[in-house]
Structure 1
Amino acid sequence: MNKRIYILLLLLPAVAFLGCRKNVLDPAFRSDARLLLTANNADGALGDSLVFSFAVWPNSLSDTVVNLYAQVMGTVTPEERTFTIQVDPTSTAQPSEYVLPTSFKVPANGFRVAIPVKINRTARLTDASAKLVLRVMPDDNFLPGPVVTGVVNSAPVFSLIWTDVLIKPVTWDNNMLWSVGKWSKVKHQLAIDATGIRNFQNITIAEQYYIASRSLEFLTEYNRNNPGNPKRNENGIVIDICSQCE
């Protein structure tokens, strides 16, 4: 018994040392308040960016507001805290294409706050995209946090991308592929025209098959009215509405 106790006592300093090393090396375990940027998957975010397309909306929509979020890692405080966001030089968005808030604040007792970004629909976006890269900067209240990976990352750098071209929804292959088929700009536009539904993120199975049914009716009517000239996608391939088809 005494021998076992002696061995255990020898091991305790090593365990304590490893615990201290974890606190020193892993920024997620340090006491400094840190800040991360993120967004909602339902809004079109995936990985380290959120992508928005004006093309699914009527031409009368000239601008909109997209929310990113600042997430606190560390202690919540009873005081309001400001934080610092910088536009990274790798951004391709022109200053006239977006408006950021004039100040950034985490409310008292808050751990997450929206960052509303107004984005504009400019003429060049019909064949291009704008990319706004935001970076958390160290200040008196927060340090940039580590990258936390997931379906949508939380990270010290996050991108907002927008265009006026139809883009493949990030969840298309998880839902629409099995009811409507492979994505193309033409099929995407047909589904919008047939149903009026513009957001294909996180739709239910019932909604998927409603979209498929209405899209098939719409496509059948088009092909009937255009004999010998069936609807084709942007690559010239005849499209259909069925599971995994073009």
Structure 2
Amino acid sequence: MKKILYMAIAAMTVMLASCSKDEIMLYENEPGVYFNSYSTTYNFIENAINIDYGADTINIPVLITGQAADRDRVLNMQVNTGDTLLTAEDGMYEILGGTVPANSYSGAIQVKVNYSKALDDSVYVARFKLVSNEDFPVIDLNQRVFSLSITNKFTQPANWGRLRSSFGNYSNSWYKFILQTTGLSSIPYWSYQGSADKNNPDPKRWTMTYVQMRAYAALVKEALTKYNNSHPGNPLKHEDGDYKGQAVTMP
């Protein structure tokens, strides 16, 4: 009796394992798409020339499930209407569409952002969701909604998480000091190889290499030391944000 029971349990185990494998294979082979991140910020302050143009275009990166195809595939996205976090007005942005290139496992959806005077003192948030189509029927994966913040006021840049290890904690006053010191309108660093990195979600936007970014960090650190030496007992401090009143430090 025990022998029969053991055999039955073993058979069920094999059957369940087989089903699990089938489910995994089905998931891995199903053409699906999902956002490669949760959010980004576009700031016209960092792209002042585009205020004169009145607009700019950014890429929202996506990844796919399933196999790469030997042709370009279409991506569909729409506004997540009814979302309580949606504050951006229709005229502030326009979804231009996107593709996953042939033989690729990633792609991007282009969104045009339009300058408006309302952005000068506020941050507006657009919320997007992916829409299934013949190329990508599966969209109910992780990271279903993407936030795009649009502004023309000083605010923490979208890539500060990648800059923190070189520039330290963020505040608007510290960021202004950094930009004034470098003479740049932004620090467009995303990864070591800059635009040449094949995983860069927006090579036209994130152009700076690690070597370039570190060179600017060294320049800023020298300027910070010079400021502190000329203000003994009164080092440069964060004037706003979570670290207001604390001395600015760099790693």
| Counterpart position of 1:152 | none
1:220 CA displacement: 7.1
Q: Give deviations 1:141-191, integer Å, cap 9, x for gaps.
A: 3210521xxxxxxx33222212112222233543311xxxx4221121111
In structure 2, distance between residues paired with 1:187 and 1:211: 10
1:98 and 2:116 aligned? no
CA deviations over 1:97-129 (Å, ceiling 9, x no partner) = 11221x444344333222222212211112221
Corresponding residue to 1:121 among 96, 110, 115: 115
DSSP-derived class of the 2:177 partner: helix
| Secondary structure, aligned partner of 1:109 | coil
How many aligned positions are there?
215
Q: Which residue of 2 aligns with 1:35?
A: 33
1:131 equivalent in alignment to 2:130: no
Write the distance in 1 (CA, Å) between the matches of 2:245 and 2:144: 44
Displacement of 1:78: 2.7
For residue 43 of structure 1, what is the aligned residue in structure 2?
none
Q: Distance in 2 between matches of 1:37 and 1:196?
A: 33
SS at match of 1:199: coil
1:48 is aligned to 2:38:
yes
Shift of 1:138: 2.2
Aligned match for 1:242, one of 219, 235, 249: 249
Change (3 A) 1:188 1:74: same
AA paired with 2:32? R
Kept in 1, the 8 Å contact 2:44–2:151? The answer is yes
Task: Supply the distance in 2 between the matched residues of 1:232 and 1:173 (Cα, whole angstroms).
Answer: 15
Q: CA RMSD in A?
A: 3.7
The AA in structure 1 aligned to 2:92 is E
Q: Distance in 1 between matches of 2:73 and 2:149?
A: 28
For 1:146, which of 141, 148, 152 is the aligned residue?
A: 141
Structure 1: gaps (5+ residues): 39-46, 148-154
CA distance in 1, matches of 2:78, 2:123: 20
SS in 1 for 2:161: coil
SS of 1:65's equivalent in the other structure is: strand
TM (norm. structure 2) is 0.68
Amino acid at match of 1:76: A
Deviation at residue 57 of structure 1 after TM alignment: 3.8
Q: Which residue of 2 aligns with 1:209?
A: 218
Aligned equivalent of 1:171, options 140, 154, 162: 162
- Which residue does the alignment assign to 1:11? 10
Identify if the C-alpha distance between structure 1 residues 238 and 49 changes in structure 2 by more than 3 Å, giving closer, same or farther: closer
Q: Is the 8 A contact 1:23 1:30 kept in 2?
A: no
* Structure 1 residues 185 and 164, CA gap change in structure 2 (3 angstroms): same
Q: For residue 144 of structure 2, what is the aligned residue in structure 1?
A: 156
Alpha-carbon distance in structure 2 between the residues aligned to 1:234 and 1:104: 38
Counterpart of 1:63 (choices 41, 48, 55) is 55
- CA distance in structure 1 between the aligned counterparts of 2:25 and 2:118, rounded to whole angstroms: 42
Distance 1:8 1:53, change over 3 A: farther
Residues 80-110 of structure 1 deviation map (CA, whole Å, 9 limit, x = unaligned): 4333212111232212111221x44434433
Which has the larger share of helix?
Answer: 2
* DSSP 3-state at the match of 1:124: helix
Distance 1:65-1:164 versus aligned 2 partners, 3 A rule: same
Aligned partner of 2:197 in structure 1 is none
**TM-score with structure 1 setting the length:** 0.69
- Greater mean alpha carbon deviation, residues 116-125 or residues 167-176: 167-176
8 Å CA contact retained: 1:70, 1:112: yes
Distance in 2 between residues matched to 1:22 and 1:53, nearest whole Å:
46
Q: Which runs of 5+ in 2 are unaligned?
A: 191-209
Structure 2 CA distance for partners of 1:131 and 1:214, relative to 1, 3 Å:
same
Percent identical across equivalent pairs? 17
Bigger CA drift: 124-133 or 14-23?
14-23
